Amino acid sequence: SFDPSGLSGSQTVTYSYTDGNSCRASDTASITVNDLPTIVLSSGPTCSADLSTYSLEVTVSGGTVTSTEGTVTNTSGNVWSITDVTSGNSIVVTVTGGNGCDTTLSVTAPNCNCPVVDAPINPVNQSYCIGSTIPTLSASVNAGETIDWYDAASGGTLLLSDNTSFTPTGPGTYYAETRVLVSGCTSAIRTAVTLTEFTLPTVEAGTYAALCEDATAITLTGIPTDANGIWSGTGVTDNGDGTASFDPSGLSGSQTVAYSYTDGNGCTASDTASITVNDLPVVEAGTYADQCENDLDLNLIGTPTDANGTWSGTGVTDNGDGTSSFDPSGLSGSITLTYTYTDGNGCTASDTTSINVITCNTSIEAVKTVAITNDVAPAGASLGDTVEYTITVTNTGDVTLDGVGIVDTFEDADSNTLMFTAGPAFDAVNSDNVEGILEVGEVAVYTATYVIGQGAIDTGGFSNSVEATANDPDDNQISDISDDGDDTDGNTEDDPTVITIT
C-alpha cells in the first residue's frame, strides 16, 4: 500500500520479485503526491441580527470553496464568505485545489438563541378621578427595543404591541414586556405598571331658607369643611375654609350657589344650592294735603292695605287693617308718619309721608247789593221797575273751599215770600272760580232779578239776604249771612238788603 500522507512531490516505489529458482528481479515506478489545499476559518461564525442565520469567512490557499449549506461568495482573492446558514445547522466547507485535491473544514453552528433581554424600566404609574380622562401608562427600554403590553405577568392577552405608551380603558395593573425589534427576542420578566381610579369626594352645599333682600348676610357651610373647598356664585364671598357669606342685597329670585371641593387625591366634585331671595314689598304711605290743627281726624291709607300693615307716628291711631286716623290737634309743622308692611314671605318694607299741620282760618264773606236797572215812571222804586241783585261770596280764609253755594231769602215788608223773576244764578263770566270751588281770595258772583209787583208795593217794600255755605278740606261746613254792602248805615254785617217803597 502507498500512503501519500506526509509526502509531497514525485515518489519512487520499487517492486522486487524472487522466483522459484531464487532468481530476483525488480522494477520501479514514480508516484506524484500533490499538496492538499489549505483552508482556515478567518472570521466567524457570527449570528445574524435576527438570529435566524449565521455567517463565516474562510481563507484558502487556492481553489474553489463549497459548503453543505449557505451562500458561498469569493469576496476577494483567496477569501470566501459563507452566509445565510440556518441557525443551529453545522456545516462542512470544502476547498478543491486545481490538482483536484480538496480539504474540508467542519464548522459548528454558533449559539444564536435569544440573549437575556432586560425588562422595561422606569414604569410610570398613573391615577385618575372617575369621570376624567384616563391617563397614559409608560415605561422605558433600550434603543432598538419596544414594548408589548399584556394583562397578565405571563401569558395573558396582548393589549397593545410596539409602543412604549399604553392608554387602558380602566383601572388595573398592566404588564410591559421588552421586545428586540430586529430579533424579536423578549424579556423573560414583564414590568408591572398600575393605573389607579379614585372616587370623587362626596360634597354637599347644604340647604338654606328663603331670605328677604335686606336680610343680614348668612353663612354657607360646605361638606367637607376645610380649606380645600371653594364657594362661588352671585352674592358669595368665600372665606377660604369651606364656608362663605351670602349677601342677598340687590338680588331677586332663585340664586344658585356652588361648593367645589378637591380631596387629597386631587379629585374634585361640586354641589349646588338654591337660595330664594324675596323682593321687599312695594309700600306706599300716600300723599296728603296740609291739615289744619283743628281739622277732623284724617284717614290714612297705606298700600298694600290689609292687616299686615302698621302705621306709626305722632298723632296716629293704627286701625289694624292698613289704615289709621291722624289727629292734627295740638300739632304744628311737618309731621312724619311711617307705614310698615310685612308680606307673606316675612319681608318688611316701609314708607314715610309728611303731613304739614298749619293754623287755619276758614271763613267766607257774602255781600248782596241791589240796583234798579229799569226805572219806569214814577222815578224811584215803583210798580214795574226791574231790580237786579249782585251776590258776591269771597274766600277770606287760607284754605281752599268746595261745595260753595247760596240759599236766598226774599220777602216783602210783611215777611211774605217773594219769587225772583230770574236767578239767583252763578255768573261764570264775572267770577274768579269754577262753580262750587273757591281758592283762597277768590270771589264767586251770583245774580238775580226781580220786577216789582203790586204785593211789594202794598206792603211798603221788600228785603233780601243770602246764606253762603262751603266745606273746608275736612268737609267741615262754614257759612256767612250776607250784608248789604253799605257799612254807613250803622249795620256792618248780616244785614239784609232792603228796598223801601213809599
SS3 assignment for 37-86: CCEEEEEEEEECCCCCEEEEEEEECCCEEEECCCEEEEEECCEEEEEEEE
Distance CA 436, CA 473 (A): 13
Strands 172-180 and 145-150: antiparallel
Looking at residue 399, what is its pLDDT? 83
| Cα atoms in the 13 Å half-sphere on the side-chain side of 314 | 13
Cβ burial, residue 254 (10 Å; 0-12/13-18/19+): exposed
Domains parsed from the chain with CATH numbers? 39-107 (no CATH), 121-198 (2.60.40.10), 211-262 (no CATH), 291-358 (2.60.40.10), 364-500 (2.60.40)
Q: Give me the sign of the Cα torsion angle 37, 42, 45, 47.
A: negative
Contact criterion met (CB below 8 Å) for 60 and 80: yes
**CA–CA separation, 483 and 495 (whole Å):** 4
Q: How far apart are CA 147 and CA 181, in angstroms?
A: 9
What pLDDT does 86 receive? 96
Tell me phi and psi for residue 310, to 5 degrees. -135, 130
Question: How far apart, in whole angstroms, are the C-alpha atoms of residue 72 and residue 3?
Answer: 32
Three cell numbers, residue 82: 459563507
How far CA 447 is from CA of 98, 389, 392, 402, 479, in Å, comes to: 173, 6, 9, 20, 19
Count of CA atoms in the C-beta half-sphere (13 A) of 290: 13
Three cell numbers, residue 328: 292734627
Question: Identity (one letter) of the amino acid at 374?
Answer: N
| 236-238 vs 243-246, strand pairing mode | antiparallel
Name the residue among 194, 265, 270 with its Cα closest to residue 232.
Answer: 270
DSSP reduced 3-state for 254 = strand
Task: Return d(Cα 123, Cα 191) in angstroms, integer.
Answer: 7
* Nearest alpha-carbon partner for 308 in 277, 280, 336: 280
- Is residue 301 left, alpha or beta, with left meaning phi > 0 and alpha meaning psi from -120 to 50? beta
Letter for the amino acid at 153?
A
Q: Is 459 helix (H, G, I), strand (E, B) or coil?
A: helix
The pLDDT value recorded for residue 408 is: 92
Per-residue pLDDT of the chain (502 residues; tens, 9 = 90+): 888 888 888 888 888 989 889 899 988 899 888 888 999 999 999 999 999 999 999 999 999 999 999 999 999 989 999 999 999 999 999 999 988 899 999 999 999 999 999 999 999 999 999 999 999 999 999 999 999 999 999 999 999 999 999 999 999 999 999 999 999 999 999 999 999 999 999 999 999 999 999 999 999 999 999 999 999 999 999 999 999 999 999 999 999 999 999 999 999 999 999 999 999 999 999 999 888 887 788 999 999 999 999 999 999 999 999 999 999 999 999 999 999 999 999 999 999 999 999 887 889 999 999 999 888 888 888 899 999 999 999 999 888 899 999 999 999 999 999 999 998 999 988 888 889 999 989 999 999 999 999 989 999 999 999 999 999 877 889 999 998 765 444 444 677 888 888 7
Q: How far is CA 249 from CA 39, 105, 212, 235, in A?
A: 107, 105, 8, 8
Whole-angstrom CA distances from 340 to 140, 284, 493 are: 78, 9, 51
Pick from 131, 135, 127: which is nearest to 165 by CA?
135
Centroid of chain to Cα 117? 58
Which one, of 343, 207, 218, 235, lies nearest residue 279 by Cα?
A: 343
Q: Which of 224, 223, 196 is nearest to 130 (CA)?
A: 196
Farthest-apart Cα atoms in the chain, separation = 243
| DSSP for 182-249, written as a single string | TT--B-SSPEEEEEEEEPPPP-B------EETTSPPEEEE-BS-STTEEEESTTEEE-SSSEEEE--T
Residue 264, SS3 per DSSP: coil
Cβ contact 388:373 at 8 Å? yes
